[in-house]
Amino acid sequence: MTRTLVLAVSAGLLASLLLTVAPVAPPTSTLGTPTAAAAPAKRAEVEARYERRVLRHTSIRRARHGLRALRVAPCLDRRAEVWGRRLATTGAFRHQPMRVLSRRCGHPRGGVGENLYASTPHKALPSRAVRAWMRSPGHRRNLLKRRYTHIGIAAKWSPRRRQWIVVQTFGGF
């Protein structure tokens, strides 16, 4: 009985660890490819979970550098969502015009910025996106800029590119 309980607890802990570090894969069919019409609610749920994890890893990195966590701003979040959806559907991969981002979000006094990340499903961990940004001087500057107080995040699966597209928009309000 005790041995069975220990094995059950060990299996439960192992399963929870695997769930914690497993990459966030796109909603898939039984063939392992994203379904064209994977239940929109399910796709939105997977994207939202990915976005929360990117925010958590971003906050951890900022805390390590003595900076406050960023708060989600509705305008920045909306602009990240719109741009992420556009990149995912068109297959393009480029920054949105910062003048437009600034104008649409009320010209934040601390300025605006953006980080983009594209990853295949097997490298889709949100922590990898943040790690990649931290290794790039310009992206790192955005992530650690003291004047930025708010953030918007979008994670979109691109069927055309077969990649996750992640957009972070920053603003100092």
Query: Does position 50 have pLDDT exceeding 90, yes or no?
Result: yes
Question: Which residues, including other chains, have CB under 8 Å from residue 66's CB and lie 6 or more apart?
Answer: none
Mean pLDDT of 87-111: 95
Greater model confidence, 10 or 140: 140
- The pLDDT score that the predictor gives to residue 2 is 42
Which of the pair, 96 or 6, is modelled with greater confidence?
96
Cα separation values, 110 from 16, 102, 107, 145, Å: 40, 10, 9, 9
> Is the pLDDT reported for residue 34 higher than 80?
no
| pLDDT confidence tier of residue 162, bands split at 50, 70 and 90 | confident
Whole-structure pTM value? 0.78
Q: In this structure, are residues 129 and 60 in contact, taking their beta carbons and an 8 Å threshold? A: no
- The SS3 assignment for 127 reads helix
Q: How far are the Cα atoms of 1, 15, 20 from residue 12, in angstroms, in the given order?
A: 16, 5, 12
